[in-house]
Structure 1
């Protein structure tokens, strides 16, 4: 089964924690890592913006990926949240199996 790392940014640690707890509880992701206090520079509505954000790294399977994206969008405060899925090419087989078990 193919596994994915899903990168998400959130407005703050509280939002990131809510998203993380919800998607893990609902078995859309096996786990979440939260990285607080990242600095983001981006263009939005024609303006250069700079904000503090919190990043999440979620692990899921191909079978749960679309549902995970949809759920994060429901929980997220941004109009256009950053949600990108990166396929895992290789890794610890036991860990990859664990992702499959926890998202089944």
Structure 2
């Protein structure tokens, strides 16, 4: 199992918490951090936009990427949600063991 750090923005803390709970419940994440107070500047449909958002840092796995994207799209309010994956180059051994262990629990509990 290869670790994946996924960045997702949400419109509010409430939406971010709902996404976090959905991803944890489905065992698509071992941990989700919500970082409030994000101010985003971006182009949308030819217009420059600004928005207050929440950033989710999702600890997942490469093998769960497709399922994670589908779950985010199902629960997200945005027409085009930001879902960006980064492959960590290094993760502390003890933390990585925990990270993988929590993601693999879904197969143990099935």
Is the shorter-chain TM-score for this pair beyond 0.5, marking a shared fold? yes
CA-CA distance at 1:61 after TM superposition: 1.1
Are residue 50 (structure 1) and residue 50 (structure 2) matched?
yes
Unaligned residue ranges in structure 1 (runs of 5+): none
* Bigger share in helix: 2
Are residue 96 (structure 1) and residue 96 (structure 2) matched?
yes
Number of the residue aligned with 2:74: 74
- Aligned counterparts of 2:99 and 2:73: Cα–Cα separation in 1: 22
Q: Following TM superposition, where does structure 1 have runs of at least 4 consecutive aligned residues deviating by more than 2 angstroms?
A: none
- Aligned counterparts of 1:69 and 1:29: Cα–Cα separation in 2: 12
Contact 1:2 1:88 in 2 (8 A): no
- Aligned counterparts of 1:83 and 1:41: Cα–Cα separation in 2: 16
Number of the residue aligned with 2:40: 40
- Aligned counterparts of 1:13 and 1:65: Cα–Cα separation in 2: 23
CA-CA distance at 1:64 after TM superposition: 1.5
State the TM-score, normalizing by the size of structure 2: 0.91
- Aligned counterparts of 1:3 and 1:29: Cα–Cα separation in 2: 10
Unaligned residue ranges in structure 2 (runs of 5+): 105-110
State the TM-score, normalizing by the size of structure 1: 0.96
Number of the residue aligned with 1:15: 15
Aligned CA RMSD, in angstroms, stands at 0.8
